[in-house]
Amino acid sequence: MPCTQWCRLIELYRGAVDTYSEATKALSVHPGAAFNETWQRAERARTRSESCRADVLHHEHDHACLEGGKLRRKAAVGIRTENFILGDQGQSGG
């Protein structure tokens, strides 16, 4: 079973990615000077999501939340870390 800390880090990461997604969607809505503020907000959200991603990976490495190279998924409620981590990077995983 993934530990409580891992679950907390995943929730923080999920929230950060959602915030980043919403911030990037707003880029097409705000023209002119408002665009610069929206861009800065998106950049802060991007930085935050990258930091949260790094926290998850660091925790998995240090705490050994992976078992035999695979997450103990039975208690992860359908969350697959490798998809979660690669999903915001636009990588196919294969």
pLDDT in tens, 50-78: 999 999 999 988 887 655 455 544 444 45
**pTM: predicted TM-score of the whole model, two decimal places:** 0.66
Contact yes or no for 84/13 (Cβ under 8 A): yes
Considering the chain, what percentage of its residues have pLDDT values greater than 70? 67
Question: Binning pLDDT at 50, 70 and 90, where does residue 22 land?
Answer: very high
Find the radius of gyration of the CA atoms of the chain.
16
Position 75 scores a pLDDT of: 44
**Cα separation values, 62 from 36, 67, 78, 83, Å:** 39, 13, 23, 20
